């Protein structure tokens, strides 16, 4: 049995974003864009999730929360940075409390820029994440068989 | 008497689209005290006024919050206009009111969806968000953006509406109103919704006023206060404005107030579109705010009164820019309302104050 035979589930966390990207992440999951038609469901539990959608540029206080959610997710997992703040800090890059991007805290696989990120771009990012997820699952499977 | 325990709520929680942490001191199933902890979204953007000039800061102000984006850019621009004594053309004021009321419609339908999600009515959540897409389409056709618009500038607005767009808007809003009236029947008449909301999280009018609450949270407790009734800027052109109130002060009252405010906002948009005057949409703003000049401004955001303060220092960079946002006013009321409630009702109460954490922490 492969590790990723089920539909991928996503978890979303707002790491000091302005809300613009968060509501677009939810809009992508709702009718209109309907990411759910691919079986992609939003979950609140990191242990159920395969794809981690992070919005916002991460500040001093929530970096531990982001790290904890990432650590609680089970392998294979993919991180998608949603919006320009999550990619590089965006307009808030020079703020004193901003670390400037999710990749300062956890490894990021897909960067989706935009302010606010458009749901179409987000869906494209998630589809790219699915490929990476598949590769990781296969690598894990091979490692398990080899062991 | 049971033993007291602390249940942490958030920052990552399924009902919360935004991170806030609550320490719920619980005895049996009753909440004794709720201690909010904030700071998860603090970016420190007020300080960016020192490195971005007053024209550039409109775009930072807009990104205080992605839900009330238009209100913040408008509130900031009006403050700087007060500071410099700029007279905005009437057409620009009308357009600002139209877009601001549209963002109220989008914010309230978004909130209705989240509330439905909080009491476990998933299909209602999806319907509310499906309907909201119609408003976002209008935003996209008229401003170019879905949630961040960048149409306000100091001295006016950057985009105009032509006749074709106005006709398009009118037809979309007529459709929206018809579907929306059906949708709110589910919120207002459904027994499963009433079971979760009637009599839950009640706050009296006196408490609401004493705790300095604002917005629909205050109006649902019976206090008729709404910044729009002061008639500042474009709102002075309205024929009639009456704040929507409810005297129950519970979760159901807050849902009802917001449901009706959407219809009220649609009325305002219709009125403004019908009598939109011709003319310029912006004036050229030259120079810089004088040293030591101060100005303030009030805007009724979807979540309540938002206060802006600006201080100039003779250069293009402002000395200080400060906002007091509605949710930071409402947090004290939320903590008071949570006292004595059931653990299972916490998410409903937190949701019905419509917290906007990124406004609060900036």
Model confidence over A61-92: pLDDT tens digits? 888 889 988 999 988 889 999 988 888 888 88
Nearest alpha-carbon partner for B235 in B60, B84, B55, B78: B78
Structure tokens at B311: 């201080």
CB < 8 Å from A in window 241-270 of B: none
Task: Inform me whether the pLDDT recorded for A4 exceeds 60.
Answer: no
Cβ distance A20 to B148 less than 8 Å, yes or no, reads: yes
> What is the DSSP track for B321-354?
EEEE-HHHHHHHHHHHHHTT-BGGGHHHHHHHT-
Cβ distance B12 to A65 less than 8 Å, yes or no, reads: yes
3-class DSSP assignment, residue A67? helix
How many CB atoms are located within 10 Å of the residue A4 CB?
Answer: 17
B182 φ, ψ (degrees, to nearest 5): -70, -40
Which chain A residues touch B12 with a CB distance below 8 Å?
13, 44, 46, 65, 69
Cβ distance A94 to B51 less than 8 Å, yes or no, reads: yes
> How confident is the model at residue B338, as a pLDDT?
84
Supply the pTM of this predicted model: 0.87
Evaluate the CA torsion angle B94, B111, A124, A104 in order and state its sign: positive
Interface test with B, best of A11, A13, A15, A18 (most B CBs within 10 A): A18
Neighbouring-strand partners of residue B35: B23
Strands B4-9 and B21-27: antiparallel
Do the Cβ atoms of A122 and A40 come closer than 8 Å?
no
> How confident is the model at residue A1, as a pLDDT?
40
Residue B199 belongs to some domain of the structure: yes
Q: B329 Cβ partners below 8 Å, 6+ apart?
A: B212, B213, B214, B304, B305
Nearest alpha-carbon partner for B84 in B283, B280, B325, B228: B283
Interface test with B, best of A13, A17, A20 (most B CBs within 10 A): A20
Structure tokens at B349: 């109460």
Structure tokens at B235: 């709102």
Cα R_g (chain A), whole angstroms: 15
Cβ distance A19 to B358 less than 8 Å, yes or no, reads: yes
Q: For residues B254 and B305, what is the distance between their CA atoms, to the nearest angstrom?
A: 16
Do the Cβ atoms of B259 and B188 come closer than 8 Å?
yes
CB < 8 Å from B in window 13-32 of A: 13-24, 26-27, 30-32
> How confident is the model at residue B27, as a pLDDT?
84
DSSP A59: B
Interface test with A, best of B20, B50, B63 (most A CBs within 10 A): B63
Domain that holds residue B166: 41-361
Residue B283 belongs to some domain of the structure: yes
Do the Cβ atoms of B65 and B41 come closer than 8 Å?
no
Structure tokens at A133: 């997820």
Do the Cβ atoms of B65 and B359 come closer than 8 Å?
yes
Q: For residues A112 and B63, what is the distance between their CA atoms, to the nearest angstrom?
A: 18
Residue B16 belongs to some domain of the structure: no
Q: Looking at the complex, report in whole angstroms how far the Cα of residue A71 sits from the nearest Cα belonging to chain B.
A: 14
Does ipTM surpass 0.95 in this model?
no
Which chain B residues touch A47 with a CB distance below 8 Å?
none
Residue B27 belongs to some domain of the structure: no
Q: For residues B294 and B301, what is the distance between their CA atoms, to the nearest angstrom?
A: 22
Instruction: Using a CB–CB cutoff of 8 Å, tell me whether B19 touches chain A.
Output: yes
Strands B304-311 and B320-324: antiparallel
Residue B12 has its nearest CB partner, among A13, A18, A92, at A13
Do the Cβ atoms of A4 and A50 come closer than 8 Å?
yes
Instruction: Using a CB–CB cutoff of 8 Å, tell me whether A94 touches chain B.
Output: yes
Beta strands in A15-143 (DSSP E): 41-42, 51-55, 78-82, 110-112
> How confident is the model at residue A43, as a pLDDT?
84
Which chain A residues touch B14 with a CB distance below 8 Å?
43-45
Interface test with B, best of A13, A16, A19, A114 (most B CBs within 10 A): A19
Average pLDDT estimate for A3-27: 81
A82 φ, ψ (degrees, to nearest 5): -100, 115
Cβ distance B41 to A44 less than 8 Å, yes or no, reads: no
Residue with tokens 């009118």: B170
Which chain A residues touch B65 with a CB distance below 8 Å?
18-19
3-class DSSP assignment, residue A140? helix
Instruction: Using a CB–CB cutoff of 8 Å, tell me whether A34 touches chain B.
Output: no
Instruction: Using a CB–CB cutoff of 8 Å, tell me whether A55 touches chain B.
Output: no
Half-sphere exposure of A134 (CA within 13 A, CB side): 7
Q: For residues B70 and B185, what is the distance between their CA atoms, to the nearest angstrom?
A: 29
CATH code: domain of residue B287 = 1.10.645.10
Tell the CATH topology of A9-141.
Rossmann fold (3.40.50)
Nearest alpha-carbon partner for B103 in B60, B67, B150: B67
CA A6 to chain centre: 18
Domain boundaries, chain A: 9-141
Do the Cβ atoms of B358 and B41 come closer than 8 Å?
yes
Beta strands in A1-77 (DSSP E): 9-14, 41-42, 51-55
Residue B202 belongs to some domain of the structure: yes
CA A29 to chain centre: 13
From first to last of its 362 residues, chain B has per-residue pLDDT tens of 678 888 888 787 777 777 878 888 888 888 888 888 878 888 888 888 888 888 888 888 888 888 888 889 999 998 988 888 888 888 898 989 999 999 999 999 988 888 888 888 888 888 898 899 989 999 888 888 888 888 888 888 888 888 888 999 999 999 999 999 988 888 888 888 888 888 888 888 888 888 888 888 888 888 888 888 887 787 877 778 888 888 888 888 988 899 999 999 999 998 888 888 888 888 888 888 888 888 888 888 888 888 999 888 888 888 888 888 888 888 888 888 888 888 888 888 888 888 888 888 77
Structure tokens at B121: 């009515």
Cβ distance B63 to A62 less than 8 Å, yes or no, reads: no
Residue with tokens 């948009």: B269
> How confident is the model at residue B1, as a pLDDT?
60
Q: Which of A41-45, A118-122, B32-36, B342-346 has the highest mean pLDDT?
A: A118-122
Q: For residues A17 and A91, what is the distance between their CA atoms, to the nearest angstrom?
A: 11
When divided into structural domains, chain B yields a total of 1
Instruction: Using a CB–CB cutoff of 8 Å, tell me whether A50 touches chain B.
Output: no
């Amino acid at each position: 049995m492969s590790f990723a035979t089920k539909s991928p589930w996503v978890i979303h966390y707002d790491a000091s974003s302005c809300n613009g990207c968060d509501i677009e992440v939810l809009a992508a999951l709702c009718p209109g864009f309907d990411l759910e038609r691919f079986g992609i469901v939003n979950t609140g539990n990191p242990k159920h999730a395969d794809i981690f959608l992070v919005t916002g540029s991460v500040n001093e206080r929530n970096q531990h929360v982001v790290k904890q959610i990432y650590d609680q997710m089970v392998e294979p997992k993919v991180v998608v940075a949603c919006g320009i703040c999550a990619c590089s800090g965006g307009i808030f890059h020079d703020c004193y409390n901003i670390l400037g991007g999710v990749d300062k805290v956890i490894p990021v696989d897909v960067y989706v820029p935009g302010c606010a990120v458009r749901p179409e771009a987000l869906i494209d990012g998630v589809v790219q994440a699915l490929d990476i997820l598949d590769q990781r699952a296969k690598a894990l499977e091979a490692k398990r068989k080899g062991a | 008497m049971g033993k007291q325990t602390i249940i942490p709520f958030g920052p990552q929680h399924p009902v919360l689209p935004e991170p806030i942490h609550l320490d719920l001191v619980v005895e049996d199933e009753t909440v004794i005290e709720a201690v909010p902890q904030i700071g998860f979204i603090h970016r420190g953007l007020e300080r960016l006024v020192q490195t971005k000039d007053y024209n550039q800061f409109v775009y930072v102000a807009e990104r205080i919050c992605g839900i009330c984006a238009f209100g913040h850019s408008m509130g900031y621009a009006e403050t700087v206009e007060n500071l410099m004594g700029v007279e905005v053309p009437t057409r620009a004021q009308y357009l600002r009111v139209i877009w601001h009321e549209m963002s109220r419609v989008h914010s309230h339908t978004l909130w209705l969806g989240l509330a439905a999600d909080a009491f476990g009515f998933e299909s209602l959540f999806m319907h509310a968000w499906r309907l909201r897409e119609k408003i976002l389409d209008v935003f996209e056709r008229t401003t170019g953006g879905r949630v961040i618009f960048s149409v306000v500038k100091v001295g006016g607005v950057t985009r105009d509406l032509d006749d074709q767009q106005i006709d398009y808007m009118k037809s979309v809003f007529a459709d929206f109103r018809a579907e929306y009236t059906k949708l709110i029947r589910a919120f207002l008449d459904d027994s499963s919704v009433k079971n979760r909301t009637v009599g839950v999280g009640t706050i009296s009018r006196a408490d609401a006023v004493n705790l300095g609450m604002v917005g629909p949270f205050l109006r649902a407790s019976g206090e008729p206060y709404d910044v729009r009734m002061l008639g500042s800027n474009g709102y002075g052109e309205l024929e009639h404005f009456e704040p929507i109130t409810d005297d129950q002060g519970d979760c159901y009252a807050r849902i009802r107030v917001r449901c009706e405010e959407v219809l009220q906002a649609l009325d305002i948009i219709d009125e403004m579109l019908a009598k939109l005057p011709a003319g310029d949409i912006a004036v050229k703003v030259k120079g810089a705010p004088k040293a030591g000049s101060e100005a303030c401004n009030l805007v009724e955001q979807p979540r309540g009164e938002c206060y802006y303060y600006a201080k100039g220092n003779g250069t293009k960079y402002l000395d200080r820019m400060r906002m007091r946002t509605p949710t930071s006013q409402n947090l004290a009321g939320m903590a008071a309302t949570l006292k004595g409630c059931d653990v299972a009702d916490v998410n409903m109460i937190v949701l019905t104050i419509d917290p906007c954490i990124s406004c609060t922490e900036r």
